[in-house]
Amino acid sequence: MSHLIAPSVLAADFANLQKDIEMINQSEADWFHIDVMDGVFVPNISFGGPVISAINKHASKTMDVHLMIVDPDRYIKDFKKAGADILTVHYEACKHLHRTVQAIKLEGMQAGVSLNPHTPVAVLEDIIKDLDLVLIMSVNPGFGGQSFIENTYKKISQLKELIEKTGSKAVIEIDGGVNDKNAEKLVSTGAQVLVAGSFVFKSDNPSQTIHELKHLKY
């Protein structure tokens, strides 16, 4: 498949959210990426179910919801109800990861698992075949606008090898510091979904920036 672009709504203009949602709808973006933070798992708080429900009323594309929260199992049904198509939990936040993944799938959503920068790909070996998506954090989670961590390329290569070895159908998503300087290398290394927040929404022409990320020369 050609790579997908998932603008991160966390970087949008919260005072004029509908305008930015319409921009994503009309752009060449593929997914809405929505970060949910609880102030416990990460040192920041963002929107929850009610805001996601409001976005979902206007969004015409896949809702890719990334939970950066402790005890995500308690809220799986809530996020399905809010409109999530893909629900990604953190490996580091789940005591019983297999059970969590199965609970997500039981609700009819695709299941993703995210890895923090310090977490090795190898921890997914026993569950990779059950996953629809693996999200590699290329910055430390919690805040937008951070610098990209170069070790990400190595992790993408390792993850791609694990997916191919096991016959998993999981796609590789990258979140954090994605821009025009690293996007081509990320995709050529094996990334299939690029999450871009500040780089898109702080640009002079977000639609054009999405277009350029979508049409990389690799």
Q: Do residues 181 and 194 touch, judged by C-beta distance below 8 A?
A: no
Torsion sign over Cα 108, 17, 198, 71: negative
Q: Is-catalytic flag, 73?
A: no
In angstroms, the CA 71 to CA 41 distance is 9
175 is catalytic: yes
Q: CA–CA separation, 2 vs 39, rounded Å?
A: 35
Which residue in 64, 130, 132, 175 is the catalytic one?
Answer: 175
Token pair for 202: 């702080």
In the set 20, 30, 35, 132, the catalytic residue is 35
Cα distances (Å, whole numbers) of residue 29 to 121, 200, 205, 216: 27, 11, 14, 13
Residues forming the active site: 35, 175
